[in-house]
């Protein structure tokens, strides 16, 4: 009798693998577009910070929670982005022991470029897949992943 785990096709064709490949392709395109716009220093890891950072600033512990990362790992990303001039840390006015990570003016320009790159990559994906398919993918995945949406305000 053949085992359910024999062969490799199931490991390469399952929905998780397909979604992961789509994410890798999309994020690679976004990074390519960022590089074309003079932001070649951007790495996918930096996106984990910037996609979870509120424009007005966010505590490191909250960034780590939103990204499902340890505080130490998020701290390293903050350090890297600070070295690039994208973010800085300020004292939290409600708790002087805590620090808030926020975008610098350079970081806000970077964020504008990132948004443009995401918009272009989404338009390219929509052109390749078609409007109906793209709308169905977005709607279905939003419903499926809603319990893991870590941002309080999606705007």
For residue 39, tell me if it sits in a domain.
yes
For residue 155, tell me if it sits in a domain.
no
Give the separation between CA 50 and CA 64, rounded to whole angstroms: 12
pLDDT at 155: 44
For residue 133, tell me if it sits in a domain.
yes
Mean pLDDT of 24-29: 96
pTM beyond 0.85: no
For residue 1, tell me if it sits in a domain.
no
For residue 5, tell me if it sits in a domain.
no
Per-residue pLDDT tens digits for 94-131: 998 889 999 999 999 999 999 999 999 999 999 999 99
Q: Copy the structure tokens of residue 58.
A: 């966010």
For residue 43, tell me if it sits in a domain.
yes
Give the separation between CA 3 and CA 116, rounded to whole angstroms: 48
**Block residue for tokens 């509120």:** 54
For residue 4, tell me if it sits in a domain.
no
For residue 64, tell me if it sits in a domain.
yes
User: How do strand 95-103 and strand 87-92 relate by DSSP bridges?
Assistant: antiparallel
**Partners of 99 in the beta sheet?**
91
Domain that holds residue 84: 13-146
Number of domains observed in the structure of the chain: 1
**pLDDT bracket for residue 151 (50, 70, 90):** low
Q: What is the CATH number of the domain that holds 27?
A: 1.10.10.10
């Amino acid at each position: 009798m053949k085992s359910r785990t024999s062969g490799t096709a199931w490991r390469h064709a399952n929905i998780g693998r397909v979604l992961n490949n789509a994410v890798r392709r999309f994020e690679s395109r976004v990074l390519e577009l960022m590089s074309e716009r003079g932001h070649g220093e951007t790495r996918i890891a930096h996106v984990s910070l910037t996609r979870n950072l509120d424009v007005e600033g966010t505590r490191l512990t909250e960034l780590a929670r939103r990204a499902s990362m340890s505080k130490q790992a998020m701290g390293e990303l903050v350090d890297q982005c600070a070295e690039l001039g994208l973010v800085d840390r300020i004292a939290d006015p409600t708790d002087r022991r805590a620090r808030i990570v926020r975008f610098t003016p350079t970081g806000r320009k970077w964020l504008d470029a990132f948004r443009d790159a995401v918009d272009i990559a989404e338009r390219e994906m929509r052109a390749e897949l078609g409007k109906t398919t793209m709308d169905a993918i977005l709607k279905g995945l939003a419903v499926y992943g809603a319990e893991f949406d870590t941002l309080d305000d999606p705007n």
